[in-house]
Structure 1
């Protein structure tokens, strides 16, 4: 409840102190732009990123998450590979270029051809 009411300051320390993956996912999802400014500061792994993809993030935010997932993890996980492909397909414009993603110093598909 405190997370949803924005009563807890979003910080690396507070994310690390949360017990339970669901609370961490909610906390990051509600503060995604702050998280995106420095995702390497947080101790999260690919299974956590997969759970984050199931959260209420916008598709543009999910594209930022998938850019950090190890391709070998995607290949070994059929359900994630399917969700990954669906998300990338939804992100295409009719001309084949990608919809711009959230910025924040992260890798971007913007201005790239997504037809591969």
Structure 2
């Protein structure tokens, strides 16, 4: 991939990643709002089952965070932002370094094809 193609792909990747972050934030807030509704409607019942309720709440928050993390990792590994020489992922700071120097920070070789 040439440097110009890499820049285009990086912009698309960053935009998609940002949009997904907004979706994940909305999903997380929806989970918390659902929790608030549960507490407001079943407050007396929850008080008698507080330990079970807290375990379920914390586990659901943990599962939500793990789900988000797995989706983000899948997006990163499926991206085409890779070094031309070693095929290592060039994401975040690594991509910025490669764009600034034209060399892969991992292997030191040329990161992009010559046009």
TM class by smaller structure: under 0.3
Q: Which of the two has higher C-alpha Rg?
A: 2
Q: Which has the higher contact order (CA 8 A, sep 6+)?
A: 2
| Structure (1/2) with the larger helix percentage | 2
TM-score (norm 1): 0.22
